[in-house]
A and B are shown apart, each in its own frame.
Chain A
Amino acid sequence: MTATLTPRPAQTSPEKKAPQKKVRLPLKYRLNRFDVKASPYLYVAPFFILFGLVGLFPLGYTFVVSLNKWNLLTGPAGFVGLDNYVTELNDPFFWNSLFNTLSIFLLSAVPQLIGAVLIAAVLDQNIRAKTFWRMSVLIPYVVTPVAVTLIFSSAFDEKYGLINNLLTSFHLDPVMWKTETLPSHVAIASMVNWRWTGYNALILLAAMQAVPRDIYESAALDGAGAVRRFFSMTLPSIRPTMIFVIITATVGGLQIFTEPKLFNPTTATPGGPQRQYQTTVLYLWDLAFNRQNFGKASAVAWLLFLIIVLFGVLNFLISRRIASTEARVSKRRMARRLTEYNRNKIS
C-alpha cells in the first residue's frame, strides 16, 4: 500500500509553484507516511488501553490483593503470601459453593443442550411462518435474569407457589424448593434453561441449515428414515457448534450470580439458610462485601478464574480432538454406509 501511495505527492506537486515545492512536498509526504504508519495503531489503541485499564488490570490486581490481608474498610494489613489460598482451600464453604456451582451448571447445561437440539430440529423442517416460530422461541431471552428470577422464585414458593399448588392438587407432596439442596438447584437451573434454550436452539439451527441438502437426499434415496438421518448425519455435522455452545455456557454458567442471589431474599446468608445454593460468585460477593474480607475474596476470585481457564483449555483440547477424529471417522463411516446401502439395493 505504501508503495502505491507514496508517489502521489510527487505527481501532484509539479502543478504547484516552484518556490513552494521545496517546503511543502517533504512535509506532505511525511504527513502521509505518518498517516499510513500510525493510523492502524491509533485505531486499535483505544480498545487495548481501555481494556487493559478496566479489564485486565483489575484481574491482575486481584492477585495482588489476594496475597495480602486486606479489609474493605481498613485497607491492606500486611503481606501474607498464599495464606488466603490455603485458608480457602480448607474452607468447607468454598467447596460447598463450588459443588453448588457445578451442580447447577450440569443441571442447566445438559437439559439445555438436549432441548436446544430438539427445538432446532423441529425448526429445521420446512415449516410455515418460519420467522414467527423462530422469534417465538427467543421471547424468554428478552426477559432479564432479574425478572426471570422474580417470576420463577414466586412460582417455586414453598407455601403459595404455583408449582407446589399444582403438585398438591395432584395429591403429590409439595417440594421444598428453597430449603433442600437438590430441588433448589433444579429450580435455579430451570431459570437458566428457560432463558437460554431458545437462544442456543437458533445457533444450532444455523449449523443445521449449513448441512448440504443433497447429502440428506441421497441418504433418503437409499432408504434412511428421518430419525436415522438425524442421528447419523445431522448430529455429527453440528458437533462443532454444539461444542461452541457448551464453551459459552461454561464460561457463563460458572459465574452464575443473579439467580441464586435473588431466589430467596428472606434469608440472611445469600444463597439459602444453609448455603444450599450459594454459588462461588455469590460466596465471593458475601466474603468481599458482607464480611469485608477482600484478601480472601480475591483468592476465591483467582481460584475461580483458574477453574474457568482450565475448563476453557479442556474444552478447546477436547473439541480439537473430536474435530480431527470426527472428520476421519465420519468420512469412513459414510463411505461404508453408502456401500452397504448399495449392496442391499442390489441384492
Chain B
Amino acid sequence: MTTLTEPRPDTHPSPGRGAQSKARKPLGIDKRPGFLTYGLLIVFFIAGTYPLYWSVIAGSSPSSVLTDTWPPLFPGGLFWQNISAVFDTVPFWMSLLNSVIVSSVITVSVVFFSTLAGYSFAKLKFRGREGLLVFVIATLAVPTQLGIIPLFMVMKQFGWTGTLGAVIVPTLVTAFGVFFMRQYLVDVIPDELIEAARVDGASMLKTFWHVGVPAARPAMAILGLFTFMTAWTDYLWPLLVVPQNPTLQVALSQLQSAKYVDYSIVLAGAVLATIPLLVLFVIAGRHLVSGIMAGAVKG
C-alpha cells in the first residue's frame, strides 16, 4: 500500500550510476522537466489556494472592499473584529466542540468495527464468507443518504433530535471501511502467523488483538483520517437533526441564513472554520496523499 506512492524506485537514476543515466537522458523520459511544467504547477497552486487567500482578505476587511473593482492584495486589519461578529452570531466554540465529539466517536467506531470485520473477512474461514463479502461490496454504492426520512422519524420517535447521538448513530459503520480493511489485511498478514498464535494457545480474540491489530495499524490510520474528514464535512443530516445544537458546518451555514448577507463576516467564519482541517492537513497531509493514491475513495 505504502509502496504504491513510490512504485518506481529504479526509474530515476541516482547520481552514482552516471553512465547509465547519461545513456537514458536523450530519450526524454526521466529528464528534469522545464519551465512549462513548473509554470503549470504554479498555476494549479494559485487556482487551489487563491479562493482561500481571497477569503482571508475579504474576511479581514470591511465589506465595502467587496465592491471594489480590484480586490486588495493583502489582508486588512479587521479580522478580529469580523471574528467577534461571527462569535456573536453563531455558537462557534460549542459547534466546534460538537464537531470534534461527533467526528471522533464516528472515527473510533468505524475504524474499530471495520478492522474487526475486515480481519474476519480477510483471514478467518467460515461458511458464507464469500456471499457476505459480495454483499458488502454491493452496498458500497448504495446511497444510504436517501433513507433520511424514516431515519428522521425514528430519531424523533426516540426523542434523539437535538442530541449529538442522532448525528453519530447513522454513520457508526460503513461498508467502505470493511472493504478497505479487508483488502489491506488479506495480503499483509501471513496465515502462518495467525496459526502460530493459535498453536501457542491464544484465543481467537487474543490473536486478533495481538496479530491482526498491529498489522492493520497503517490502514487504520488512513481509514481514520478519511472517516474523520467525511464526518467533519457532513452537512445534510446534522442540519436536519441538530439545527439548534449545531455542528461546525451547520453553524457556519447559519452565518448567511439572513435576509442581508454580510460577506466579510461570512468569509471570516469560513476561514476560521477551515483552520482545524488545515492544521490536520499540515500534520497529516502526506498520509492523505498516499492514502488517496493507494486507492482510498470518497467517503
**Also in contact, A165 and B68, with CB within 8 A (given A144-B249, A152-B51, A209-B7):** yes
A1-20 near B? 1/0 per residue, CB < 8 Å: 10011001000000000000
Choice from B41, B119, B142 contacting A133 with Cβ under 8 Å: B41
Q: How far is the CB of B26 from chain A (nearest CB, A)?
A: 9
B55 at interface by CB-CB < 8 Å: yes
B58 at interface by CB-CB < 8 Å: yes
Binds A, one of B76-84, B196-204, B216-224: B196-204
A205 at interface by CB-CB < 8 Å: yes
**Also in contact, A47 and B178, with CB within 8 A (given A122-B40, A138-B288):** yes
Q: State the CA gap A254–B293 with chains docked (Å).
A: 24
B252 at interface by CB-CB < 8 Å: yes
Binds B, one of A82-90, A96-104, A297-305: A297-305
B147 at interface by CB-CB < 8 Å: yes
Q: State the CA gap A213–B28 with chains docked (Å).
A: 12
Taking CB atoms and an 8 Å cut-off, the chain A residues in 158-198 that contact chain B are 160-162, 165-166, 168-169, 194, 198
B20 at interface by CB-CB < 8 Å: no
**Also in contact, A126 and B148, with CB within 8 A (given A150-B255, A150-B270):** no
A231 at interface by CB-CB < 8 Å: no
A54 x B293 contact (CB < 8 A): no
Q: How far is the CB of A318 from chain B (nearest CB, A)?
A: 15
A55 x B147 contact (CB < 8 A): yes
Residue of A with least CB distance to B294 = A206
Interface size class of A (residues with CB under 8 A): 35 or more
- A to B contact number (C-beta, < 8 Å): 307
**Also in contact, A127 and B38, with CB within 8 A (given A51-B173, A255-B145):** yes
Q: State the CA gap A54–B241 with chains docked (Å).
A: 15
B14 at interface by CB-CB < 8 Å: no
A51 x B266 contact (CB < 8 A): no
**Also in contact, A255 and B253, with CB within 8 A (given A1-B198, A54-B169):** no
**Also in contact, A65 and B150, with CB within 8 A (given A4-B195, A220-B28):** yes
Choice from A206, A302, A312 contacting B141 with Cβ under 8 Å: A312
Chain A residues in 8 Å Cβ range of B113: 46-47, 50
Q: How far is the CB of B272 from chain A (nearest CB, A)?
A: 10
B92 at interface by CB-CB < 8 Å: no
**Also in contact, A258 and B236, with CB within 8 A (given A46-B116, A301-B149):** yes
A139-B281, A226-B28, A265-B257 given; name 16 further pairs at CB < 8 Å: A43-B124, A44-B116, A47-B114, A47-B178, A118-B40, A138-B288, A140-B52, A151-B270, A160-B263, A194-B48, A199-B292, A206-B294, A251-B143, A288-B148, A288-B152, A301-B148
List the interface of chain B (C-beta within 8 A of A): 4-5, 7-8, 11-12, 24, 27-33, 37-38, 40-41, 44-45, 47-49, 51-52, 54-55, 58, 66-71, 113-114, 116-117, 119-121, 124-126, 129, 132, 136, 139, 141-154, 169-173, 175, 178, 195, 198-199, 201, 203-205, 208, 229, 232-233, 235-236, 240, 249, 252-253, 255-259, 261, 263, 266-267, 269-270, 273-274, 277-278, 280-281, 285-286, 288-289, 292-295, 297-298
